[in-house]
Structure 1
C-alpha cells in the first residue's frame, strides 16, 4: 500500500480506551489529553463518550495524527489507557482481517496441541521466537508440526475444549457483521481449530493451514503452501478487491511478526497485546482495552454493539 501523507487541515479524532471491565477513563484523563493536544497546536472540540468511562473521542484539527498521538500518549503515560489518533473521515472500515492465536483466542493453539505428547514447553519456545520474528515462520511451523507426528486426530479435536476466546471477540465480530463488514479469520494455525473458532464468532471466511492426517493421526506434515505473512497480506488485498475498496478501508488485528505486513497495509492496523517489535512498528495498538476496542477505534458507540459473550 502506498501510504497516504498525513494532513493537519482535515478533521481528526483522538480516541481514549480503557479496559471496559475497570471503566477507568475519567474526565481528568480527557482534560489532560485535551491540554496536551492544545499544547501541540491543535484546535480541540468537546469530547463525546463512546461508552461512559470506557471510551471517548476528542475531535481536533490543526496537527497530524502522529503528532496528536504522541502528545496524547505523553499526557496519559502513567494511566492504563490506549490512545489512537486518526482522520475522522473513512474511520469505519468495510473489511476486517484478524489473526487467531493470541488475538481472537487467548493462547497459541499449536502449543496446546503439543501438551498431549508432553512437548508443550519445547514447542512453545519455538513459537515464541517465531512470533517475535527471530525465526522464519514457515520453517518454524514445519519443525513444530514435525514434532507432533503420530498425534491422534482425537487429541487435536480435544484441544478445542481448552481454547478460550479473548474478551470482546464475539461482540466485536457480531457488531461488525451487523454493520455489513466482511470479517476474515486468517491464521498461521490450523483449520481444525480455526474453522470452529470462526463459527463461534461469526467470521465470513477462514484462511488457515491444514494438518495432514492419515489413519487418524498426524503425519508430521502440513499442507503447502503455508499460510504465513505473505498469505495474510494477500488475503487482505483480495478481500479489499472483492469489496471494491482501497486497503485504507480495511482493518486488521494481530500480535506476531507474521501479522506485521497486514497491519501496516491496512488503514486501521491494530497490534493487540503484541510482541514489542510489532507494537513498535504498528500505527495503532490495544494493550488495555479488550477486542471491543476495535469497535471504539472505528467510532462505534456501545449502544451500537451486538452484545455477545
Structure 2
C-alpha cells in the first residue's frame, strides 16, 4: 500500500470497499503506516491502495481502497488509526447520486426549532430535556413530540416568525451541499419531525425540491398545543426515501441526519451520513461528520470543488 499526491487509480475488479476520510494533514501522514500494518494483520493489504490530497485549513482527504473485508471492519480501522473529522465507507462502484434526503433540526439547521420556540414561552429547559431524550432514543418519538407541543399551548403564532428570523440559521455548508447536488441532478428532500412553519422557509432559502414536516395547529393566532395531521416520524422518513428512490431506475440515495428518529432513513440510504450525531445514529450510518461543515460530504463523495455551487453564503 502506498500513498501519493492524489487518489490512486482504482481497479473495480480488485477494490471492493473505499474509505474516504478528512483529517489534519499531519495526522494522516503519521497514521498511514499504522493503518497499513492493520490491513496486513487482517490479511487484506495486498492490492490495497491509498492516496491523498490537501484541502484548505491544514486538512487533507485520504482515500483507502481495499480488495476485501467487511464494511464494519474497515470503519473500525479508520476510527482507530485515523480518528478523522469526517469519513465515509462505501462500495467501490456505485451509480450516480439521484436523491438527497435530509433531516432538518441540528442537521440542515444548527438548532432544534421546538427548543428555541419554547424559549419564548419560558419553557426551554423542560422542552430541551425531552428533546434530548428523544434524540438519544430513550423516548418514543411521537409521545415526546406531543408532550413538547402541548407545553406550547397559547403561544402566539407570531412568535414562530420571530424565532425563525432571530434564532434559526442554516448549518455552514448546507446551501452549498444542496445546490451542488441539485446541479448534479439530485432530487433534494427535506423531511423533518419538526414543523412546516420552519421547514418551508428553510427549504426555500436553501433550494430543496420537496418538504415534509409536522403541522402545528393554530386557532385565533395562537398555538393550540396540538398537531394538525399525521406525525412525521422515523417510519415516514424511511418511506419517503423509498418513495423517492422508486422514481429512478438507477442511481443512489444520500441521507443525512443526527438523531435516533433518523436511523431507519440512514440505514435505508446507499450513503447514510451522520452529522455531529447522537451515538446511535452515528453507529448506524455509513459515514459521519464529527468536525467541519456539511460541504465535507461533497469531498467524501469525490465531487470536484470546481463543480460546487458557492455563489451564496453557506
Rounded to whole Å, the distance in 1 between the matches of 2:95 and 2:31 is 23
The alpha-carbon distance between structure 1 residues 34 and 257, as it changes in their structure 2 partners (threshold 3 A), is same
1:71 alignment counterpart:
77
Which deviates further from its counterpart, 205-214 or 297-306? 297-306
- The CA deviation string for residues 17-42 of structure 1, in whole angstroms up to 9 with x for no partner, is 13xxx777653344544454344323
Using the TM superposition, give the Cα deviation of residue 219 of structure 1 relative to its aligned residue in structure 2, in angstroms. 1.2
- The CA deviation string for residues 55-80 of structure 1, in whole angstroms up to 9 with x for no partner, is 23233323333322222222124xx5
Using the TM superposition, give the Cα deviation of residue 83 of structure 1 relative to its aligned residue in structure 2, in angstroms. 3.2
How many residues end up aligned between the 2 structures?
Answer: 296
> Counterparts of 1:135-174 in structure 2 under 5 Å?
135-161=139-165, 162-174=167-179
Pair 1:13-2:18 in alignment = yes
Unaligned runs of 5+ in 2: 1-11
Match of 2:234 among 208, 229, 236: 229
Match of 1:300 among 300, 303, 313: 303
Pair 1:203-2:205 in alignment = no
1:254 alignment counterpart:
257
Rounded to whole Å, the distance in 2 between the matches of 1:10 and 1:38 is 15
Matched residue SS, 1:58: strand
Match of 1:37 among 39, 57, 65: 39
TM-score norm. by structure 2 comes to: 0.86
Using the TM superposition, give the Cα deviation of residue 243 of structure 1 relative to its aligned residue in structure 2, in angstroms. 2.6
RMSD: 2.3
Q: Check conservation: 1:97, 1:251, Cα contact below 8 A.
A: yes
1:213 alignment counterpart:
218
Rounded to whole Å, the distance in 2 between the matches of 1:196 and 1:266 is 26
The alpha-carbon distance between structure 1 residues 140 and 104, as it changes in their structure 2 partners (threshold 3 A), is same
1:4 alignment counterpart:
none
Rounded to whole Å, the distance in 1 between the matches of 2:20 and 2:82 is 12
Q: Check conservation: 1:49, 1:56, Cα contact below 8 A.
A: yes
Matched residue SS, 1:47: strand
Pair 1:128-2:148 in alignment = no
Match of 1:59 among 45, 57, 65: 65
Matched residue SS, 2:97: coil
Matched residue SS, 2:106: helix
Pair 1:285-2:268 in alignment = no
Rounded to whole Å, the distance in 1 between the matches of 2:303 and 2:76 is 23
Q: Check conservation: 1:211, 1:223, Cα contact below 8 A.
A: yes
Rounded to whole Å, the distance in 2 between the matches of 1:157 and 1:245 is 40
Match of 2:189 among 167, 176, 184: 184
Q: Check conservation: 1:273, 1:287, Cα contact below 8 A.
A: yes
Q: Check conservation: 2:194, 2:213, Cα contact below 8 A.
A: yes
The alpha-carbon distance between structure 1 residues 55 and 10, as it changes in their structure 2 partners (threshold 3 A), is closer
2:102 alignment counterpart:
98
The alpha-carbon distance between structure 1 residues 299 and 25, as it changes in their structure 2 partners (threshold 3 A), is farther
Q: Check conservation: 1:50, 1:300, Cα contact below 8 A.
A: no
Matched residue SS, 1:96: strand
Match of 2:119 among 94, 115, 118: 115
Rounded to whole Å, the distance in 2 between the matches of 1:150 and 1:164 is 25
Q: Check conservation: 2:21, 2:86, Cα contact below 8 A.
A: yes
